[in-house]
Chain A
């Protein structure tokens, strides 16, 4: 295929959108069928197998699953001198027992995980068909990856395993998320994700001064976390994500748990806040004799490519050509692992959605075609070397 200039790629975006629309049923059917296979983190095997079968049916090479459950398909390029990675995480936050039925109306799909990240996986599975329809043969090998063990305690284990053990150098990568169209993440912020568990022994002496149940103790922990001063620059925040504890109305809770995340543009500040929280829970544990533990679930280092990097610039240009407002936001997901391996990468979204990670998660159908056109445009630009830093 003759080399394509960036102007030509932008001109073809409408054609890419039409091509995506022409395979609408395949895209949507893939999204529904993926979403209806439960895939809680560490138990994604069945869903990954489905994606792999789709890759095989499209004639992709080396369709396989690795030791940690990642699924792969390779679309060989000509001459195939470099590798581009497209990755979508395969796991969801929903338990197998949740009703995974997806409902579809003319303009939207609704159901658990339909946007995060069934749609991302569906686009990956449909991409070979789209490229064939557009008669586009890439120069690079395109490595399509359904990543396992990404969320929560999975802590990006799937992608990390692959990048640590992969022997073919990856020139650049795209992380594909169902939501939200316009998303443009090119940097990772420093992050530490932790869990504080308060445990009060059944044999606890409730007559002792200051004695309190696990919920009151956790409340003290939260108050102390809230008093930690946070700098405005570098941007820093502490997110209190979930809280649980106790068993009934009339029993004093003997166990409680807080899940939280520290985010900062500075790794030093993340570490300093971590130390601070550690000190404060030690203090509370000594005061109350409750067992208070801090468990670190995940950690990310800040980093990323520059706003002026050609990959980011081309992404912005493509979004602009599609009249989509870019939403620049740092990421703590797959992108962080790619950044750690110094692979130029961005995360992009495919459509508009609401109620993310709730059972009534919803995505709009029509913007998906813009999302796919964006992905195709950027992929071809990457393939042509138009996103490389010289």
Chain B
């Protein structure tokens, strides 16, 4: 597929979808249901506003969303209380599919949402967005509503990093530019057309979500792109420009951990797909250094990118969503 042609036909700006009435009519005509999933861990300062805005704009005014759910990893602040007070359905991740061994991570919440939420389409929106706006949901949902061949819509932004003198107009996405895009360029050139492969906001059809595995750590977005690409091709992707996303900036050290997790996921995928069959067993310890009163000392982190199987492999899921003879 020609990348420029794909960009032309599969890249959108959220402002194109300003006509909510039309969007809701199109959704209703298709008879699909839509769930919004917000994965959380200690987000009491931002979660309330996010729920209020989505509920007001995309439920009360225009019934685009059928469900707003918070899947929490076990916050120790008032995240769950605040979310429930504004009317979201709040779930503790460990209470969903309790018969399965517990794991913690954002990917775990996203995966369990597939079981817990009822929508034919699920839109995932992070809870740490300071400039939350309805576009973060409808901008991603509209391509799925209007274009049946699209199955997976990613967000992209001009990502500002907060700094001392207001907002810098562009920057960020360091892991994308330094790690993921070079890797995609080497092994999956077509996937480089996805402008922000690591963005935490995306809308996906259930038929896709239930069929792909979920790394529960940093690698979930990268593995999704590779798996959807392999199975459905570039035709299945869309991407929407949501303008700006103001969020917490992460330290270089945190980005190092993130890159380590993504790299693990990527290499395991490459091995499984036969792109790099000779990869030895990977070490799961990331070693970073810090200076303590003039002396260098090593800090080691054990980062294991565990993976959940496709939800369709879980009997309880099949029973709930695909009951057959």
A residues with CB within 8 A of B? 23-26, 28-30, 32-33, 36, 57, 97, 99, 101-106
Chain B: CB-nearest residue to A22: B60
B168 smallest CB distance to A (angstroms): 13
Q: Is the CB of A36 within 8 A of B131?
A: yes
Q: Is the CB of A28 within 8 A of B82?
A: no
B18 smallest CB distance to A (angstroms): 10
- With A25-B60, A25-B86, A97-B166 in contact, is A103–B49 under 8 Å at CB? yes
Taking CB atoms, residues of chain A closer than 8 Å to B175 are none
**Beta-carbon contacts under 8 Å, B49-94 to A:** 49, 51-53, 55-57, 59-61, 78, 81-82, 85-87
- With A25-B87, A97-B166 in contact, is A104–B52 under 8 Å at CB? yes
19 examples of A-B residue contacts, CB within 8 angstroms: A23-B60, A24-B52, A25-B59, A25-B86, A25-B87, A28-B56, A29-B55, A29-B56, A32-B52, A32-B53, A36-B131, A97-B166, A101-B246, A104-B49, A105-B44, A105-B48, A105-B78, A105-B82, A106-B86
Q: Is the CB of B166 within 8 A of A28?
A: no
**Beta-carbon contacts under 8 Å, B251-296 to A:** none
Taking CB atoms, residues of chain A closer than 8 Å to B52 are 24-25, 28-29, 32, 104
Q: Is the interface of B mostly helix, strand, loop or mixed?
A: helix
B residues with CB within 8 A of A? 44-46, 48-49, 51-53, 55-57, 59-61, 78, 81-82, 85-87, 130-131, 133, 166, 246
Q: Is the CB of A101 within 8 A of B60?
A: no
Q: Is the CB of A26 within 8 A of B82?
A: no
Cα(A104)–Cα(B79), bound, Å? 12
B259 smallest CB distance to A (angstroms): 29
- With A29-B56, A97-B166 in contact, is A102–B61 under 8 Å at CB? no
Cα(A28)–Cα(B51), bound, Å? 11
Q: A103-B49, A106-B82 are in contact. List 12 more A-B contacts (CB 8 A).
A: A25-B52, A25-B60, A25-B86, A25-B87, A26-B60, A28-B52, A29-B55, A32-B49, A101-B130, A103-B46, A105-B45, A105-B82
Q: Is the CB of B45 within 8 A of A103?
A: yes
Cα(A105)–Cα(B50), bound, Å? 11
Chain B: CB-nearest residue to A96: B166
Taking CB atoms, residues of chain B closer than 8 Å to A99 are 166
Q: Is the CB of B166 within 8 A of A106?
A: no
Taking CB atoms, residues of chain B closer than 8 Å to A29 are 52-53, 55-57
Cα(A125)–Cα(B166), bound, Å? 30
Taking CB atoms, residues of chain B closer than 8 Å to A57 are 61
Q: Is the CB of A33 within 8 A of B53?
A: yes
Question: Which of the listed residues A29, A101, A106 has the most CB atoms from chain B within 10 Å of its own CB?
Answer: A29
Cα(A320)–Cα(B49), bound, Å? 33
Chain B: CB-nearest residue to A26: B56
Q: Is the CB of B45 within 8 A of A26?
A: no
Taking CB atoms, residues of chain A closer than 8 Å to B57 are 29
B136 smallest CB distance to A (angstroms): 13
Cα(A24)–Cα(B52), bound, Å? 8
Cα(A23)–Cα(B49), bound, Å? 15
Chain A: CB-nearest residue to B62: A57
Cα(A106)–Cα(B80), bound, Å? 11
Across the interface, A25 reaches (CB within 8 A) one of B55, B78, B130, B133, namely B55
B21 smallest CB distance to A (angstroms): 9
A128 smallest CB distance to B (angstroms): 12
Cα(A382)–Cα(B124), bound, Å? 47
Chain B: CB-nearest residue to A108: B48
Cα(A103)–Cα(B132), bound, Å? 11
5 nearest A-B pairs in the assembled complex, by CB-CB distance:
A29-B56, A104-B48, A25-B56, A104-B49, A106-B85
